[in-house]
Homo-oligomer: A and B are copies of this chain.
Amino acid sequence: MPSVAVVGCGLTKFGKTDKGLIELLAEAGLKAIDDAGLDGIQFDDVLVANMASGEFNGLSGIANALVGELSLEPAAAIKIENTSGSGGAAVYVGWQAIASGKSEYVLVVGGEKMSTKSSGETAEIIASLTHLEERVHGITLPSLAALSARQYMQFYGAPREALAKVAVKNHDNALLNPLAQFHKKITIEDVLNSPIVCDPLRLYDYCPITDGAAAVVLTTLENAKRLTDNPVVISGIGFATDYYSIQTRKRLDEFPAVRRAAEKAYRMAGKKPSDIHVVEVHDMATILEILQCEDLGFFSKGEGWKAVLEDKTALDGELPVNTSGGLKAKGHPIGATGVAQVAEIFMQLQERCGERQVDAKCGLTCNIGGYGNGVVVTILEVMRPC
C-alpha cells in the first residue's frame, strides 16, 4: 500500500462573503494546487466535502461543477457528505484512492456557503442530521452540547470558567490566523456574560455560522519527496460511528466514536497520545474540545478541564490545541472544517504558521459528524531531512 502524503493546502478567508459556493471551492482548490506546485497536473479524483449545497445554495453535482471551474476534466468528481464531518470523510476517501494504487493525485476540497439562509432556516437544515424521533421533541446540536456540559460539570466538578477558557484561548489563537473569521480578543467574563443559548452554554460557547472553503492535495510519498524537502504523511487514519439515536448512548460526556476512530489511527501510525505535538479538534461548542481531548487520550477522563485552566492546551502549552482558532474562532463552514483541520496541521508540521507556529513533528485532527455520530481522526507526521 503506497504511503499517502499531503503536498499542498489552500484556504479562503472564513466569514461572511458575497462569493458563491463554487467560487469559494475553486479559490481554495486553486490555492492548494499552486501551493503544491502542481499547476497543469492531471488529477485523478476531485473530492468535494459539503453538507447541504442543495438546501443552502440550490446546487447539486457541485464536484462536477468544481472540476469544470478548475478545468480538471476528466478527473473523477464526487461529493462526500457526513454532515459536519464531511471534510474528514473526504480526506479518508482521498487517502483510500491513493492507498489503493489507483490514483496518483487527489484534490480534496471542503466548503460551505451558509449565509444564504436566515438563522432559523439554518438551524432547521442542521437539525436534519438528528434522529427523526428525537427531532420532534426539539433536540438540536446546541441543546445536546448543553446537556453534555451540564453532565460533565456535575460529574467531574468542572467550573463554568473552564469551558469559557476554551473560547478565550481559541479567540487568542485566531488573532494570529489572518484567515480566521474572528479577530477579537475576549475574556472569560465576556463569555459568561454573553446571552444564554442553552443553559449552561452561552453564545460565546458556540462556533459561528461561516462561509468558506479549504483544500489539500494528496499524492504518494514517492511523489511528495520530489515535490518538497519536508513531506508530510498521513501515517494514521480512523473512522468510526456511534449510535445515531442519542437516547441509546450511555452518557453524553464522552464520545465513544472519537475513542474508536483514534484507536484505529494510533494503531495504524504506531503512535500513542503522548507522541502528538499539536491537535485540531471539533470545538463546535467549548465543552466538546475538552471531551475530545480526553477521549483522544491526552488527559484522563474528567481532567481535561484542568488542562485548559492550567494553559496546557494554549499556544505555548505542552499540547497546543486548535492553533488555527478552531471552529469557535476560525469559523465552521461545515463541509470545510475537516479539510481545514488537516491543512492547519500540515502547515504547522511544515513550519509555515507564522506567529501561531508551534514546535511539532506529529499532529492529529478530530472531525465530528453529527453529535459524535461519525468521527474521523487523522495523524500526520513530517519527515524532515536528517
Beta-carbon contact of B129 and A241 below 8 Å:
no
Instruction: Report how far A101 CA is from B73 CA in the complex, Å.
Output: 28
Select the residue from A78, A243, A245 with max chain B CB neighbours within 10 A.
A78
**Given A55-B55, A245-B68, A369-B61, do A76 and B1 touch, yes or no (CB 8 Å)?**
no
A24 vs chain B, min Cβ distance (A): 14
A197 CB-CB contact with B under 8 Å: no
- The answer to whether B257 touches A74 (Cβ under 8 A) is yes
How many A residues face the partner with a CB closer than 8 A?
A: 59
Whether A61 lies near B97 (C-beta < 8 A) is no
- State the Cβ distance, A122 to closest chain B Cβ, in Å: 13
Number of copies of this protein chain within its complex: 2
Give the complex CA separation of A154 and B80 in angstroms: 40
Report A339-376 residues with CB < 8 Å from chain B CB: 369-370, 373-374
Of A81-89, A163-171, A223-231, the stretch lying at the interface with chain B is: A81-89
Chain B residues positioned under 8 Å from A73 (CB to CB): 240-243, 257
In the complex, what residues of B have CB within 8 A of residue A131's CB?
Answer: 65, 68
Report B-chain residues with C-beta under 8 Å of the C-beta of A194: none
Q: Which of A111-142 contact B (CB under 8 A)?
A: 125, 128-129, 131-132
A82 and B96 contact, Cβ closer than 8 Å, known pairs A1-B101, A74-B257, A239-B76: no
Pair B82/A80 contact, Cβ less than 8 Å:
no
Once the chains are docked, how many angstroms separate the CA of A165 from the CA of B24?
46
Contacting B at CB under 8 A, from A216-250, are: 239-245, 248
In the bound complex, residues from chain B placing their C-beta under 8 Å from that of A248 are: 68
A64 contacts which of B93, B132, B244 (Cβ < 8 Å)?
A: B244
CB-contact partner of A96 in B75, B102, B369, under 8 A: B102
Q: Can you report 27 residue pairs joining A to B where beta carbons are below 8 Å apart?
A: A1-B102, A52-B54, A54-B54, A55-B55, A60-B129, A61-B244, A61-B369, A61-B373, A61-B374, A64-B374, A65-B244, A68-B241, A72-B241, A74-B240, A74-B241, A74-B242, A74-B261, A76-B89, A78-B89, A79-B80, A79-B81, A79-B82, A80-B81, A81-B81, A93-B93, A96-B96, A97-B100
10 closest residue pairs by CB, A with B: A68-B244, A76-B239, A61-B129, A74-B240, A99-B100, A100-B100, A79-B81, A64-B373, A61-B83, A60-B128
> Measuring CB to CB, which residues of chain A are less than 8 angstroms from any residue of chain B?
1, 45, 51-52, 54-55, 58-61, 63-65, 67-69, 72-83, 89, 92-93, 95-97, 99-102, 125, 128-129, 131-132, 239-245, 248, 256-257, 260-261, 369-370, 373-374
